[in-house]
Amino acid sequence: MFRVFHYRNRCIGCNACVEIAFEQWRMSKKDGKAVLLGAKEKKGVYNISLPEAVLEENIQAMEACPVKVIKIER
């Protein structure tokens, strides 16, 4: 398992994470920012534990983010 953190307030809605890791990410119709599916929010930071099977695509999403608002912790 690994943990993904999403600093959503700084998201610019570029959609890169959704295109790379569609199983975990969607774009919000409300504000145009990315949503980390199933994540819990704490002090403005969303996080979720995910299985190793989806690690690679989430690393790619993190690396593709132009504003670096996705962090991964193992």
| Domain 2-73: top CATH class | alpha beta
Average pLDDT (47-65) is 98
Percent of the chain at pLDDT above 90?
100
Q: Could you read off the pLDDT of 18-35 as tens digits, one per residue?
A: 999 999 999 999 999 999
User: How deeply is 43 buried, as exposed, middle or buried, from its count of CB atoms within 10 A (0-12, 13-18, 19+)?
Assistant: exposed
Domain spans of the chain?
Answer: 2-73
